Structure 1
């Protein structure tokens, strides 16, 4: 029998890492203490307006802009991604041109154009071209600034969502689709049961980032102009009080509150769609070591590493008997 000989391992020390951590904590504490006593921040005004009715209503409007715009952007992005993957060159070219235009121009410029839509098109006509329209109505009456802001944000975001969805679909191995076809699945059934569930692992993280980015991009809808979002409303209040810094802090607190909720939701969605990935999951605990590698053990006050006991398998053959 071979005796196990524990090898004592000495834990590495990182003194400079501890010093750097102490410096960071001290710097953060000094900043908080300084900000608490600095009169420019005007914390009583922050407490007064953080739950003001105008601010809370603007926060709800900002959340609505984000949700409605992202729903439209995701649906349109999926359609554009499928068009980009289409073998039809015309369909693929149309999708590429859309992405080229909306990704190549700033979103603020696009929102300004949407705000001037009633000047470019005074009326919206529905009917057969070059004939008397069936329905005709004024653009100002049909589309208010809130609707125009949603359209502008959604069309811009759809260009980015199309590339995210396309990358997710292309990440699935081609053999998965071929195997589903061999089992008799149609295209829609293959996408719903095979391709999309596997691609969601790639699509969810950047989509969550885009939702958070959309929440902050709503501060640009003043270009439409829509003036009832969170940032514009806080700016209008600061113009009345001649005290802009507290109102900026109020708007930032609401943005941080919404983004924190979105980050938590993104985390749980990533965990759900990462099931079955195994060791590639960043939050999955390592399982017990297997194989013939060294097995770490803790004995006494220091960790030790126990070398594996060599095992030899006797050759089997017709002339050798097993243990009796």
Structure 2
């Protein structure tokens, strides 16, 4: 006897669904898309890196025993201190000069704009070695320097040869050269600040100097710092040119010892290379934390530090292991 229309069907008589999974949902796994190209590229890079390291370690031409002998020698460390001293002075003076030049370039005065543009154009066109050699022979052109009225009496004068020591020549030459590049970095950072910030500060009636120090420049630093740190890394390596003005920096000390001990030229060059790598790595670490500090308020969350990245990777690895064990 057939069931009347609308009659209920018992669960026992209902047909089983055809799309029921054969395994529980917890046991199902989503397989990632296979990427053979990525694995091949990774294997090739690892093989090349292993061969490079193997060549560095096993090649007797590098003389790693002599490298260890020279790495902490007083001569090398004295040259390293000279490099740090010249870099520190030149970085500070170059940045200050770059700020002044950038402000002059953005000024409404046509004279300041023209002078700033000519300065940047000139020192970006002249190689640093030419600037250093010119300053090294500056006393041949001007034996005395004086300050006074143009075409009139001088208020005071001094002997240029007594003032211009080797380290002064190096710092002045590098600072003049660095200011031209820092000026464009600072100017680009200031121009990157939204125009609404300037208008809001002006609407509040804040003085121009206060606007720049408290509103514009702190925001511009987010753009200035990465670019200027690149300049600073180039500055650390650029100090190797002061060897040509009779100042024994890190490279000069290695070069001088290489002339005295010709058989140790390669180990001495490796010593200088490793020290430059250490210095630039320290600057890069400082750059990360300074950028992270000035990123406050501009991003929803600060970028994780290397230690936080390591902890996160360990946590993810433990969670993955637990999931694999549960399956």
TM-score using structure 1 length: 0.82
1:84 maps to: 105
2:62 maps to: 41
Structure 1 residue 283 displacement after superposition: 5.2
Distance 1:97 1:130 in 2: 24
SS at match of 1:184: coil
Matched, 1:239 2:259: yes
Deviations 1:18-62 (Å, cap 9, x if unpaired)? 122122222222222222221211111100010000100110110
Deviations 1:242-287 (Å, cap 9, x if unpaired)? 03111100001111111111000000011111112226976599xx
SS at match of 1:124: strand
2:143 maps to: 122
Matched, 1:220 2:241: yes
SS at match of 2:154: coil
1:146–1:226 CA contact under 8 A, matched in 2: no
2:250 maps to: 230
Matched, 1:75 2:96: yes
Identify which of 51, 54, 58 aligns with 2:79: 58
Structure 1 residue 131 displacement after superposition: 3.7
Moved over 6 A (4+): none
Identify which of 49, 65, 78 aligns with 1:28: 49
SS at match of 2:255: helix
5 Å matches for 1:270-289?
A: 270-278=291-299
1:179 maps to: 200
Specify the structure having the higher radius of gyration (Cα).
2
Identify which of 158, 163, 184 aligns with 2:179: 158
Distance 1:216 1:239 in 2: 21
Deviations 1:110-165 (Å, cap 9, x if unpaired)? 11111111111111123333344333322111110110110000011101111111
Structure 1 residue 178 displacement after superposition: 1.2
Distance 1:106 1:8 in 2: 62
Considering only aligned residues, what root-mean-square deviation do their CA atoms show, in Å? 2.2
- Show structure 1 runs of 5+ residues with no match: 1-5, 286-297, 302-324
When residues 164 and 22 of structure 1 are mapped into structure 2, their CA distance, relative to the original with a 3 A threshold, is: same
TM-score using structure 2 length: 0.81
When residues 33 and 8 of structure 1 are mapped into structure 2, their CA distance, relative to the original with a 3 A threshold, is: closer
1:149–1:226 CA contact under 8 A, matched in 2: no
2:6 maps to: none
1:73–1:161 CA contact under 8 A, matched in 2: yes
- Show structure 2 runs of 5+ residues with no match: 1-24, 309-319
Distance 2:153 2:219 in 1: 50
1:110 maps to: 131
Higher helix share: 2
